[in-house]
Amino acid sequence: MAKVNISGIDLNLLVAFDALMEHKNVTRAARAVNLSQPAMSNALSRLRDLFADELLVRSPAGMRPTPRALEAHDAVQNVLAAIDGVFDTSNRFDPAKDARTFRVAMAEDPSLFLLPTLTQRIAAGAPRIELDVVSTSIRPGVELVQAGEVEACVAMTPKNLPKELRFTPVFRERLVAVVRKDHPMVKGAKGEGKIPLKDFLAYPHVTLRPSVNAPRRVDDALAKLGKERQVAVIVPHFMVLLYLLPGTDMIACVAEKLARRVAPSLGLVLLEMPVRVPAYDVCLVWHRRFDQDRGHMWLRETIIAEGKALSKES
């Protein structure tokens, strides 16, 4: 391809190209970079002329990038990151003095585990930092990060993570069964507090569904054994779930770290489940555009350090 005179290129087109490649939809890409839909359509037309390629073509599954677009995307993102590095004052970040708001998406479980002490740590060392925590009950945290609506999220181990996103473990978690301390099942628990499967299935369960797409780890594990539990109540909030157990024979399967904090005050005990549900990592996820952002690096280090410190105490 002939060389292009870069002095005649509108760098805003590269921003539009990056948004179109991430969202593969003109309307969503326009929203992500605060453009109107017609303006983004015009940008796509100009990009096609610039690259002498269709870049994104319509298909039954939505707009699909061409090989030329895929080839160019990494280079364009590197250019935009370099430009951000030149002009972004956040690369001169001092947590003790600077004011900044970080938007982080968190599910209820990691919020309850991390936030009480994380906010204390931030207040002590970075008094002008504001942490804006966004719920993941409607949209998964990874989607919010990818759409640019938050700067990071704390969520379960990501699967099939888009290549533009990064992640690192914050703490490891597993599920345990929780019941009132005088529950009939407690006496039948075997060594190390493990519940017999027949007892586990004999009593009603209250289950947690924090979002529409939340995984059903316990039910999936039982299904592999050809078993099914009795579900009496489904709730969206962890704390509501635990408060339903006192005075009932219901069982709840919940994250161990949180259960250990809350259960004793409610007269509840933790038991080992009779089915194997693999432990999982709760991870910090962010877009790679923040890789070299000094403020974001500080935020990531602070969250990870807090997760490690809390894990040692648990």
Structure tokens at 108: 């209820």
What percentage of the chain has pLDDT greater than the value 70?
93
Angle between helices 108-125 and 294-313 (to 10 degrees): 110
131-140, 242-251, 253-262: range with highest mean pLDDT: 242-251
Q: Confidence class of residue 5 from pLDDT cuts 50, 70 and 90? A: low
Structure tokens at 80: 């935009």
Q: Which CATH architecture has domain 93-172+280-313?
A: 3-Layer(aba) Sandwich (3.40)
Closest by alpha carbon to 207, among 190, 228, 181?
228
- CATH level 3 topology of 6-87: Arc Repressor Mutant, subunit A (1.10.10)
Give the integer Cα–Cα distance in Å for 185 and 121.
41
Mean pLDDT to the nearest integer, 254-264: 89
Tokens 């060392």 belong to 125
Give the integer Cα–Cα distance in Å for 228 and 224.
10
DSSP 194: B
Indicate the pairing of strand 204-208 with strand 230-235. Answer: parallel
Query: Contact at 8 Å (CB) between 242 and 165?
Result: no
110-124, 144-158, 185-199: range with highest mean pLDDT: 110-124
Q: Does position 87 have pLDDT exceeding 90, yes or no? A: no
Q: Do domains 93-172+280-313 and 175-271 have the same CATH topology?
A: yes
CA distances from 71 to 65, 68, 213 (A): 10, 5, 33
Q: Does position 251 have pLDDT exceeding 50, yes or no? A: yes
Give the integer Cα–Cα distance in Å for 183 and 191.
17
Structure tokens at 73: 């995307």
Query: Mind listing the pLDDT tens digit for each residue in 262-302?
Result: 899 999 999 999 999 999 999 999 999 899 888 999 999 99
How many whole angstroms from its chain centre is CA 275?
26
Q: Confidence class of residue 2 from pLDDT cuts 50, 70 and 90? A: very low
Give the integer Cα–Cα distance in Å for 249 and 267.
13
Query: Contact at 8 Å (CB) between 21 and 65?
Result: yes
Query: Contact at 8 Å (CB) between 63 and 27?
Result: no
Structure tokens at 133: 């925590």
Query: Mind listing the pLDDT tens digit for each residue in 220-241?
Result: 999 999 999 999 999 988 888 9
Give the list of residues 6+ apart from residue 25 with CB closer than 8 angstroms, or none.
62, 63
Q: Does position 136 have pLDDT exceeding 90, yes or no? A: no
Q: Confidence class of residue 120 from pLDDT cuts 50, 70 and 90? A: very high
Q: Does position 314 have pLDDT exceeding 90, yes or no? A: no
Q: Does position 191 have pLDDT exceeding 50, yes or no? A: yes
**CATH number of 175-271: 3.90.1150.10, 3.40.190.10, 3.40.50.1240, 3.40.50.150?**
3.40.190.10
| Domains of the chain, residue spans | 6-87, 93-172+280-313, 175-271
Q: Does position 1 have pLDDT exceeding 80, yes or no? A: no
Q: Is the dihedral of CA 257, 248, 231, 108 positive or negative?
A: negative
Query: Mind listing the pLDDT tens digit for each residue in 10-58?
Result: 888 999 999 999 899 999 999 988 899 999 999 999 999 989 999 999 8
